[in-house]
Amino acid sequence: MIGSGFQNIFRIPELKKRILFSLALLIVYRIGVHIPVPGIDALALASFFARAKGTLLGLFDMFSGGAFERLSVFALGIMPYISSSIILQLLTVVVPHLERLSKEGEQGRKKITQYTRYGTIVLSIIQGFGISIGLESMSAPGGAPVVLLPGWGFRILTVITLTAGTAFIMWLGEQITERGIGNGISLIIFSGIVVQMPNAISNTFQLVSTGEMSIFTVILMLVLMVVVVGVIIFVEQGQRRIPVQYAKRVVGRRLYGGQSTHLPLKINTSGVIPPIFASSIIMFPATIASFITVPWVKQIADSIMPGKFLYELLFVGFIFFFCYFYTAVTFNPVDVAENMKKHGGFIPGIRPGKRTSDYIDRVLTRITLGGAFYVSCVCVLPSILIAKFNVPFYFGGTALLIVVGVAVDTMAQMESHIISRNYEGFLKKGQGKIKGRS
């Protein structure tokens, strides 16, 4: 049973050690979230962020686990690392040197990881300097300045502090991945989102106790939450398996090949990248407009705020675009077809070579359409709930995709550790095992 499966975790010393190590580093991260950058008026900053909800600042604050709103040493969060990783992946397609490194195995991946770290530091310095400049122009609704002593001293100190904080988070994530359980970077984002849930639940109970929300609405919300989580788990593990047959080869006196396998194509190949990019692009004008007092600029900015029809339309459009774009960048049907042909593999009924790559590309295009539709539905759900049912906390969207996906991946890794020690997993015998997203 599931309960006995979790009990088996603590019977494996190595797995127990990895879990405790990961929890310890996540606690260190959460402590750093509450350490503020010097020279900031915390009350004025909180007042400013209270009116910045729904802009790009609010999006950054969600991924930093509240660190950005407090302007702590971890205010930049792990977003510079994610941005650097995405940029390197995109450059791998157009830069021959990076493409060669990606095909050189472990040594090539280490070199690309090193470039990613350098890019993270560069992006952190640029973002840190931009934040320091922006903070000096910020003030609370009452007129109190956010920065106590503006100037180059504050700017340099802020850049150094925020860059060091991001570098430390990057190191924590790599340590969790190497010596802990699960993907460290994903778990850091996961912890930042999850810690905000108790406050949201508390606010819900307060609304129920004051009569602003009915019990029926809460029950409906819980049922919908279970359904959406189930759909996310189902789709994230969904695959289109293309059958592959390997021809028999005689080498000396031995017979090689002849086995049948499959090529798994994920329905949601791009993961959570499309909604992150789409939100950033659409919210950027709204964030810039929050610093401008021109009436027509404010009017345009209000029309592309979350919950507005134009915002939702653009959001879905960008999600579809980035789903196809990121899938095309990360998965090359031509390379897959060439590798398959090189090892004597073929798809039954399809000629090797160009016909195979065209077939894989056609199948991938069709399932990506379904994946983009699924991501769009999940990501527009929060706005519908807030606008129609007055749900008081952020439910669904990118945050829910990350939380459910990371939880499934982490449980899959625990499952593999348990099975490797001949223990029964989280599920009963005879049932399918938990599959990660990769």
Mark whether 143 and 271 lie in a shared domain.
no
Query: Looking at 151, 168, 195, which one is the last position of a domain?
Result: 195
CB atoms within 10 A of CB 419: 14
Query: Looking at 195, 222, 245, which one is the last position of a domain?
Result: 195
105 class by beta-carbon count within 10 Å (0-12 exposed, 13-18 middle, 19+ buried): exposed
**Average pLDDT for residues 138-151, to the nearest whole number?**
74
**Average pLDDT for residues 1-28, to the nearest whole number?**
77
Mark whether 339 and 217 lie in a shared domain.
yes
**Average pLDDT for residues 93-102, to the nearest whole number?**
81
Is there a domain that residue 406 lies in? no
Give strand pairing partners of 255: 250
Give strand pairing partners of 242: 263
Mark whether 179 and 257 lie in a shared domain.
no
Is there a domain that residue 426 lies in? no
**Is the pLDDT at 109 greater than 70, yes or no?**
yes
Number of domains forming the structure of the chain: 2
Is there a domain that residue 164 lies in? yes
Top mean-pLDDT range of 58-67, 172-181, 395-404: 172-181
Mark whether 254 and 157 lie in a shared domain.
no
Token code pair at residue 65: 């686990």
Is there a domain that residue 429 lies in? no
Mark whether 30 and 172 lie in a shared domain.
yes
Answer for the pair 74, 166: CB distance below 8 angstroms, yes or no.
yes
d(C-alpha 57, C-alpha 131), whole Å: 11
Domain that holds residue 231: 210-395
Half-sphere exposure of 131 (CA within 13 A, CB side): 29
**Is the pLDDT at 433 greater than 60, yes or no?**
no
Mark whether 232 and 185 lie in a shared domain.
no
Token code pair at residue 308: 């507005």
Is there a domain that residue 125 lies in? yes
Mark whether 7 and 58 lie in a shared domain.
yes
**Is the pLDDT at 187 greater than 50, yes or no?**
yes
CB atoms within 10 A of CB 384: 14
Q: What are 307-363's pLDDT values in tens digits?
A: 677 878 888 898 998 889 888 877 888 888 888 888 778 888 888 888 888 999 999
Mean residue pLDDT of the chain comes to 78
Ramachandran category for residue 296: left, alpha or beta (phi over 0 → left; psi -120 to 50 → alpha): alpha
Contacts 24+ apart (CB under 8 A), 9-17: 9/414, 9/418, 11/421, 11/423, 12/417, 12/418, 12/421, 12/423, 14/417, 15/181, 15/414, 15/417, 15/418, 15/421
**Is the pLDDT at 163 greater than 70, yes or no?**
yes
Mark whether 186 and 262 lie in a shared domain.
no
Q: What are 352-398's pLDDT values in tens digits?
A: 888 888 999 999 999 999 999 998 888 887 666 666 655 544 455 67
Q: Which helix (H) or strand (E) holds 375?
A: helix 354-384
Token code pair at residue 414: 């625990």
Is there a domain that residue 408 lies in? no
d(C-alpha 158, C-alpha 132), whole Å: 6
pLDDT given at position 393:
46
Answer for the pair 367, 327: CB distance below 8 angstroms, yes or no.
no
Is there a domain that residue 311 lies in? yes
Least confident of 130-139, 222-231, 253-262, 318-327: 253-262
d(C-alpha 237, C-alpha 374), whole Å: 13
**Is the pLDDT at 141 greater than 90, yes or no?**
no
Mark whether 243 and 343 lie in a shared domain.
yes
Mark whether 182 and 217 lie in a shared domain.
no
Is there a domain that residue 327 lies in? yes
- Beta strands (DSSP E) in 151-274 are 239-246, 249-251, 254-256, 260-266
Mark whether 123 and 3 lie in a shared domain.
yes
Mark whether 288 and 321 lie in a shared domain.
yes
CATH, residue 98:
1.10.3370.10
Residue type for 33, please? V
